[in-house]
Amino acid sequence: MRFSTLLSIISIFSSVNAIGDLAFDLGVQANSGACKTASDYKSDLAALSSYTSKVRVYAASDCNTLQILGPVAEEAGFSIFLGIWPTDDAHFSSEKAALTTYLPAIKKSTVELITVGSEALYRQDLTASALGDAIDSIRDLIADINDSEGNSYSGTPVGFVDSWNVLVDGGSLPAISAADVVFANAFSYWQGQTQQNASYSFFDDIMQALQTIQSAKGETDITFWIGETGWPTEGTAFESSTPSLDNAQSFWNDAICAIRGWGVNVIAFEAFDEDWKPDTSGTSDVEKHWGIWDSSRNLKYDLSCNFSS
Ligand SMILES: *[C@@H]1O[C@H](CO)[C@@H](O)[C@H](O)[C@H]1NC(C)=O
Ligand SMILES: *[C@@H]1O[C@H](CO)[C@@H](O)[C@H](O)[C@H]1NC(C)=O
């Protein structure tokens, strides 16, 4: 990495002083492929509870996630980063209906924030201005919903998640402008990076995303998380990236712990291996091996970070 790049990374990241927070992306299908039950979620959250009290899910209505996970998370003292799919009208309507029906049954604090779309711009499912409109419409919708204690969901942050390179592209600005919160996904693995360069590449990606967001919104006006990052432990190599336990452990220590040490919040992809995911072709046999815990909820590697070094 160039020295000037490192300096700008440090100056951007050091605008935040505290150690970055940690959460996990959580799948909603059990190993059989069936939707998780309340009891599955209870066991999931119990496994995660030594490391976090926050999980991210991708949709409200799919697998009745908000209905089932909401009360379980609340009981376990967890909060949820709740995803909403905006990309086709029927699905978006179901997502809104889930908010209207199930948000009143839980406390406002249980849904920490809402992200509309997951890499919708990357996939070109929506334009950035249509995504901005969808963010605004969810913000308006929840302002008229009260929680189980009579508090309005008005003020709950609403934003979106996308790939770092799409955020850096100036075309995403209409969505960034509409958002209270932006998550950037960055996978050195899918950039085919060597293990040696994986953490540098990760810092560089996130630095660029953060710089774009901060210049659009100002430093204090936005909540920023890395929405997905991680390293698979098994499967076929992708270019110079090799799945292995050792490499996943190194990425954890050198990339995830390091960037948290600079004050950046990280959602690690993903909590548990997902055995139900199919092997299709090429490198997709890694898809079931991104878990930090295996599919029986055994931790695969050491998650301690030495922030003092
Ligand atoms: C939400 O609570 C406010 C204040 O108590 C009340 O005026 C409003 O009618 C409630 N809205 C709904 C949808 O229950
Ligand atoms: C390391 O990563 C940076 C940033 O992604 C990239 O520009 C560079 O080409 C990579 N270096 C090597 C040796 O792969």
User: Catalytic annotation on 287?
Assistant: no
- Please name each of the domains of the chain with its CATH number: 3-289 (3.20.20.80)
d(CA 175, CA 128): 5
User: Which residue minimizes the CA distance to atom 8 of ligand 1?
Assistant: 146
With H, G, I as helix, E, B as strand and everything else as coil, classify residue 169. coil
pLDDT of 202: 98
Instruction: Count CB atoms within 10 A of the CB of residue 150.
Output: 8
User: Catalytic annotation on 119?
Assistant: yes
Cβ–ligand 2 contact at 208 (below 6 Å): no
d(CA 241, CA 191): 8
Written as tens digits, the pLDDT of the chain (309 aa) is 444 455 565 566 655 558 999 999 999 999 999 999 999 999 999 999 999 999 999 999 999 999 999 999 999 999 999 999 999 999 999 999 999 999 999 999 999 999 999 999 999 999 999 999 999 999 999 999 999 999 999 999 999 999 999 999 989 999 999 999 999 999 999 999 999 999 999 999 999 999 999 999 887 778 999 999 999 999 999 999 999 999 999 999 999 999 999 999 999 999 999 999 988 766 678 999 999 999 999 999 999 999 864
Tell me how far the alpha carbon of residue 249 lies from the centroid of ligand 2, in angstroms. 20
Q: How far is CA 228 from CA 141, 189, 265, 266, in A?
A: 27, 12, 11, 8
d(CA 278, CA 115): 26
Residue 23, phi then psi, degrees to nearest 5: -140, 175
Q: Which is catalytic among the residues 74, 95, 112, 228?
A: 228
User: What tokens appear for 254 in the block?
Assistant: 């050198």
pLDDT tens sequence across 38-65: 999 999 999 999 999 999 999 999 999 9
193 CA: nearest ligand 2 atom: 14
Cβ–ligand 2 contact at 201 (below 6 Å): yes
User: Which residue minimizes the CA distance to atom 10 of ligand 2?
Assistant: 197
Cβ–ligand 1 contact at 150 (below 6 Å): yes
Please state whether 162 falls in left (phi above 0), alpha (psi between -120 and 50) or beta. Answer: beta
Residue type at 47 in one-letter notation: A
pLDDT of 16: 53
Cβ–ligand 1 contact at 146 (below 6 Å): yes
d(CA 81, CA 97): 18
